[in-house]
């Protein structure tokens, strides 16, 4: 559902992944062989030839080529000659080079994208059983050698020399005076920024996969859990993955099920034992033993077993991911830490900036009011696990069964949904012509999984809406997901086709495409032509999003602080990392959650598995909701379709510039908080 291939992803995929198979070249890349003196020499020569006014750009390009140049690329003499022969000062000629590079990169990236799209169809589409051969082709990376090839044939150096890189700070600062072509040139400078050796990438990928396997095999056999009275609260077959499955089961018990609260407390106890690693290793993924998570006793056939706790494996994986990523630091001169690569490069916001926006929300006094409202709806004091409170669900006047019926009749198959897209877009305010134009670039296919939107990377390609179509037609839930994915597809189509420079296509980061996906998804009933008759629906939805954003921001703050600590303490042991992670989680809780919950010192915010297997990835989710509400605020009283067309044709500015031009203000939590304030007032005033 979140799978969106952005240009950034493609660029990272194509140009940081170099896989060397040549056994004669196993040695690490020897970067930085060009001395300052040599570089100064080339800069002086080129300035003499092309004039003082070009000095800044000459220096920038020559320095960046020098930083990426290795002994395998040639001697110092070769470097000098390369710079002298390939630097272009003339604006017209430089623009001609830019156009040629743009055309060719679009062709290359677009076709690689098309190959991957085709090769993974047996895995992604509803095509029946997956054969081993499908997995072999599906995991093949056709672009793996491109970066190596382009450094070898010097196209990478030609690009860097003439279209050098600007840091995030420079883009934000200088970008104020750039025109759109300057921005496109700067985006060309983002294409080659690192040269991480294949063995380091392979190691990173291996530790990532190992952490992923650890997490995906980390199941709790719920049917084997017993309370102090020896009773089983959960059904025999129930087996839950940490943390997703545990969290979702916890959420499902807010609907008044029998022993719901007792079950939630038991899940919470299990989570704490995972975090502090006091969980007996024997109970993980093991159907043979019974476990009382409160006393921590383990039983087999009526006997109490002696057990060992899990030996900090959770934190070993986190540390291994850290060391593997840190190993790439010397080869990424522009983003020399994994934190910068995740934030400055990936999100194009610094970690401090993201932290500040999150704290604006989690530290707002409104959260206490929402907490009080939840306590009142629950009829009890809040428990720490109520960060997953799931009771702000809007009940539309129409039952789910009726909705299923409506959707099923309208969209019995993928083709009918594809045919229906212009009609859906017209509901949002598009003209018939424009709706048909957008729809002509979107293909609908039946997905194997929940669904995703796969964007195009060249203008001759379509984007793909993959969604689940059940036997007998689409369900209402399927349509809800399809509406989300359609938001992605519309963003992908506008931001590729309506941005005049190919290198500037796209959006600042994935949070921005999520924002439009949320805007579509929240209008799902409207898109079916159904007007909700409950005025509280929107308020409940808002509070549901606000509370979910609060929770994930808390988790994300922990993730960031843990990484900062690992960089400060690179030789930490798993035991030290565990203790520190728990301390950080408790500190974040005590600062922003304890005042709302009235409970201190819980480490619950450290339970997310993303922290172990997808480091520093969590921030994009809550950012997407903040942007969603900023856009909603901005479009109120305007034609939504016109505004979508205008905003998503801006292209891939940095978030600061995009927000400024799209909604006229910086990224902020205020619109979501304002909407939350209105909703709390509406819900409390109603009683
Ligand atoms: Zn999404």
380 in Cβ contact with 597 (< 8 Å)? no
626 CA → ligand 1 middle, Å:
14
517 CA → ligand 1 middle, Å:
6
101 CA → ligand 1 middle, Å:
31
551 CA → ligand 1 middle, Å:
19
Beta bridge partners of 208: none
338 CA → ligand 1 middle, Å:
24
pLDDT in the model for residue 256: 76
Rounded distance between C-alpha atoms, residue 108 and residue 15, angstroms: 12
270-to-246, 282, 511, 607 alpha-carbon distances in Å: 9, 14, 32, 10
Q: Residue 241, SS3?
A: strand
650 CA → ligand 1 middle, Å:
20
64 in Cβ contact with 160 (< 8 Å)? yes
pLDDT in tens, 579-626: 999 999 999 999 999 999 999 999 999 999 989 988 888 898 899 999
pLDDT in tens, 448-469: 877 889 999 999 999 999 988 8
pLDDT in tens, 293-331: 999 999 999 899 999 999 999 999 999 999 999 999 999
Q: Residue 258, SS3?
A: coil
- Residue whose C-alpha is closest to residue 18's, from 148, 151, 109, 190: 148
301 CA → ligand 1 middle, Å:
47
463 CA → ligand 1 middle, Å:
14
451 CA → ligand 1 middle, Å:
9
512 CA → ligand 1 middle, Å:
10
Which of 253-257, 516-520, 531-535, 643-647 shows the lowest per-residue confidence on average (mean pLDDT)? 531-535
For 371-395, what is the mean pLDDT? 92
445 CA → ligand 1 middle, Å:
17
Task: With a cut of 50, say whether residue 14 has pLDDT above it.
Answer: no
Task: With a cut of 70, say whether residue 644 has pLDDT above it.
Answer: yes
303 CA → ligand 1 middle, Å:
49
205 CA → ligand 1 middle, Å:
24
Phi and psi for 416 in degrees, rounded to 5? Answer: -70, -35
491 CA → ligand 1 middle, Å:
11
pLDDT in the model for residue 28: 58
- According to DSSP, the β-strands at 442-446 and 463-467 are parallel
282 CA → ligand 1 middle, Å:
37
Pick the CATH number of 400-527 from 1.10.3470, 3.40.50, 1.20.120, 3.40.390: 3.40.390
Give every CB contact of residue 439 below 8 A, 6+ residues apart in sequence: 418, 421, 422, 425
Burial 375-387 (b: 16+ CB within 10 A, else e): beeeeeebbbbbb
Task: With a cut of 60, say whether residue 220 has pLDDT above it.
Answer: yes
240 CA → ligand 1 middle, Å:
24
For 156-181, what is the mean pLDDT? 97
606 CA → ligand 1 middle, Å:
24
pLDDT in the model for residue 12: 39
355 CA → ligand 1 middle, Å:
22
pLDDT in the model for residue 27: 43
Phi and psi for 240 in degrees, rounded to 5? Answer: -120, 135
Domain boundaries, the chain: 7-197, 212-312, 348-392+535-686, 400-527
389 CA → ligand 1 middle, Å:
22
For 168-174, what is the mean pLDDT? 96
pLDDT in tens, 89-141: 999 999 999 999 999 999 999 999 999 999 999 988 888 888 889 988 887 88
110 CA → ligand 1 middle, Å:
21
Q: Residue 427, SS3?
A: helix
259 CA → ligand 1 middle, Å:
34
Task: With a cut of 50, say whether residue 24 has pLDDT above it.
Answer: no
465 CA → ligand 1 middle, Å:
11
CB neighbours of residue 600 within 10 Å: 12
pLDDT in the model for residue 377: 93
481 CA → ligand 1 middle, Å:
9
514 CA → ligand 1 middle, Å:
5
96 in Cβ contact with 90 (< 8 Å)? no
4 CA → ligand 1 middle, Å:
7
Prior bond of 243 cis (ω within 30°): yes
Average pLDDT, the chain: 91
535 in Cβ contact with 395 (< 8 Å)? no
pLDDT in the model for residue 396: 60
Task: With a cut of 60, say whether residue 15 has pLDDT above it.
Answer: no
124 CA → ligand 1 middle, Å:
16
Percent of the chain with pLDDT over 70: 95
pLDDT in the model for residue 394: 64
Give alpha helix (H) positions in 22-90.
36-50, 55-68, 76-86
Check residues 667 and 618 and name the one with the higher pLDDT.
Answer: 667
pLDDT band at 500; cut points 50, 70, 90 = very high
468 CA → ligand 1 middle, Å:
15
100-to-93, 103, 154 alpha-carbon distances in Å: 11, 5, 15
Task: With a cut of 60, say whether residue 8 has pLDDT above it.
Answer: no
Which long-range contacts does 31-35 make (Cβ < 8 Å, 24+ apart)? Answer: 31/67, 31/68, 31/69, 31/70, 31/195, 31/330, 31/331, 31/333, 32/66, 32/67, 33/69, 33/70, 33/71, 33/76, 34/66, 34/69, 34/76, 34/79, 35/76
pLDDT band at 395; cut points 50, 70, 90 = low
509 in Cβ contact with 348 (< 8 Å)? yes
pLDDT in the model for residue 4: 37
488 CA → ligand 1 middle, Å:
7
4 in Cβ contact with 453 (< 8 Å)? yes
Task: With a cut of 80, say whether residue 417 has pLDDT above it.
Answer: yes
539 CA → ligand 1 middle, Å:
22
N-term to C-term CA, the chain: 37
Give every CB contact of residue 281 below 8 A, 6+ residues apart in sequence: 307, 308, 309, 310, 311
489 CA → ligand 1 middle, Å:
10
pLDDT in the model for residue 3: 37
CA-based torsion, 397, 398, 400, 403: positive or negative: negative
384 in Cβ contact with 599 (< 8 Å)? yes
- Residue 202, H or E segment: helix 198-216
Task: With a cut of 50, say whether residue 20 has pLDDT above it.
Answer: no
Burial 233-254 (b: 16+ CB within 10 A, else e): bbeeebebbbbebbbebbeebb
Rounded distance between C-alpha atoms, residue 458 and residue 454, angstroms: 12
DSSP code of residue 449:
S
Rounded distance between C-alpha atoms, residue 536 and residue 542, angstroms: 10
pLDDT in the model for residue 10: 38
454 CA → ligand 1 middle, Å:
11
Rg value, the chain, Cα: 27
537 in Cβ contact with 394 (< 8 Å)? yes
Task: With a cut of 90, say whether residue 19 has pLDDT above it.
Answer: no
620 CA → ligand 1 middle, Å:
11
How long, in residues, is the chain? 687
422 CA → ligand 1 middle, Å:
21
375 in Cβ contact with 381 (< 8 Å)? yes
Which of 252-256, 514-518, 677-681 shows the lowest per-residue confidence on average (mean pLDDT)? 252-256
393-to-149, 536, 542 alpha-carbon distances in Å: 53, 10, 10
520 CA → ligand 1 middle, Å:
11
- Residue whose C-alpha is closest to residue 274's, from 229, 231, 240: 240
32-to-36, 345, 451, 622 alpha-carbon distances in Å: 10, 22, 45, 39
522 CA → ligand 1 middle, Å:
12
């Amino acid at each position: 559902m979140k799978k969106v291939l952005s240009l950034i992803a493609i660029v990272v995929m194509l140009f940081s992944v170099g896989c060397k198979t040549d056994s004669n070249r196993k040695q690490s890349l020897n970067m930085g062989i060009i001395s300052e003196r040599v570089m100064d020499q080339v800069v002086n020569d080129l300035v003499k030839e092309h004039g003082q006014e070009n000095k800044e750009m000459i220096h920038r390009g020559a320095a960046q080529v020098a930083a990426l140049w290795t002994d395998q690329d040639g001697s110092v003499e070769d470097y000098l000659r390369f710079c002298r022969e390939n630097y272009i000062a003339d604006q017209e000629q430089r623009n001609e080079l830019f156009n040629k590079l743009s055309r060719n990169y679009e062709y290359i990236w677009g076709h690689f994208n098309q190959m991957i799209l085709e090769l993974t169809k047996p895995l992604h589409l509803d095509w029946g059983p997956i054969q081993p051969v499908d997995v072999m082709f599906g995991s093949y990376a056709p672009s793996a050698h491109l970066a190596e090839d382009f450094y070898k044939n010097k196209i990478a150096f030609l690009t860097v020399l003439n279209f050098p890189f600007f840091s995030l700070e420079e883009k934000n600062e200088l970008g104020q005076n750039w025109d759109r072509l300057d921005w496109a040139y700067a985006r060309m400078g983002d294409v080659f920024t690192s040269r991480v050796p294949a063995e380091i990438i392979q190691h990173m990928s291996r530790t990532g996969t190992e952490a992923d396997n650890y997490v995906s095999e980390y199941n709790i056999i719920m049917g084997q859990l017993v309370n102090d009275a020896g009773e089983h609260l959960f059904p025999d077959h129930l087996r839950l993955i940490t943390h997703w499955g545990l969290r979702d089961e916890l959420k499902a018990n807010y609907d008044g099920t029998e022993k719901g609260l007792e079950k939630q407390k038991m899940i919470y106890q299990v989570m704490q034992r995972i975090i502090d690693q006091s969980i007996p290793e024997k109970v993980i993924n093991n159907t043979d033993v019974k476990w009382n998570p409160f006393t921590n006793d383990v039983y087999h056939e009526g006997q109490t077993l002696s057990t060992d706790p899990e030996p900090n494996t959770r934190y070993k994986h986190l540390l291994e991911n850290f060391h593997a990523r840190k190993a790439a630091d010397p080869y990424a001169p522009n983003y020399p830490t994994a934190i910068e690569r995740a934030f400055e490069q990936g999100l194009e916001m610094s970690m401090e900036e993201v932290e500040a926006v999150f704290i604006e929300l989690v530290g707002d006094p409104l959260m206490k009011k929402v907490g009080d409202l939840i306590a009142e709806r629950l009829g009890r004091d809040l428990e720490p696990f109520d960060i997953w409170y799931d009771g702000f669900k809007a009940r539309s006047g129409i039952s789910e069964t009726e909705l299923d019926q409506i959707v099923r009749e309208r969209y019995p198959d993928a083709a009918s949904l594809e045919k229906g897209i212009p009609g859906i877009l017209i509901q949002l305010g598009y003209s018939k012509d424009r709706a048909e134009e957008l729809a002509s670039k979107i293909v609908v296919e039946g997905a194997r999984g929940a669904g995703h939107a796969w964007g195009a990377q060249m203008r001759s390609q379509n984007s793909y809406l993959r969604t689940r179509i059940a036997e007998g037609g689409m369900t209402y839930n399927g349509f809800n997901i399809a509406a989300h994915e359609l938001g992605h597809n519309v963003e992908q189509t506008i931001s590729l086709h309506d941005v005049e420079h190919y290198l500037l296509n796209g959006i600042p980061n994935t949070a921005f495409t999520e924002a439009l996906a949320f805007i579509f998804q929240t209008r799902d009933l409207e898109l079916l032509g159904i007007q909700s008759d409950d005025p509280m629906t929107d308020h409940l939805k808002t509070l549901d999003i606000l509370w979910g954003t609060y929770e994930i921001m808390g988790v994300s703050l922990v993730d960031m602080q843990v990484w900062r600590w690992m960089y400060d303490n690179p030789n930490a042991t798993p035991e030290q990392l565990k203790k520190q992670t728990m301390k950080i989680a408790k500190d974040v809780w005590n600062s922003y959650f304890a005042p709302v919950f009235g409970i201190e010192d819980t480490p619950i915010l450290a339970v997310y598995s993303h922290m172990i297997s997808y480091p520093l990835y969590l921030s994009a989710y809550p950012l997407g909701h903040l942007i969603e509400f900023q856009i909603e605020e901005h479009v109120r009283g305007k034609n939504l379709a016109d505004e979508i067309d205008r905003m998503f044709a801006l292209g891939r500015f940095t978030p600061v510039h995009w927000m400024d031009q799209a909604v006229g203000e910086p990224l902020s939590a205020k619109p979501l908080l304002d909407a939350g304030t209105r909703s709390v007032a509406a819900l409390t005033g109603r009683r």
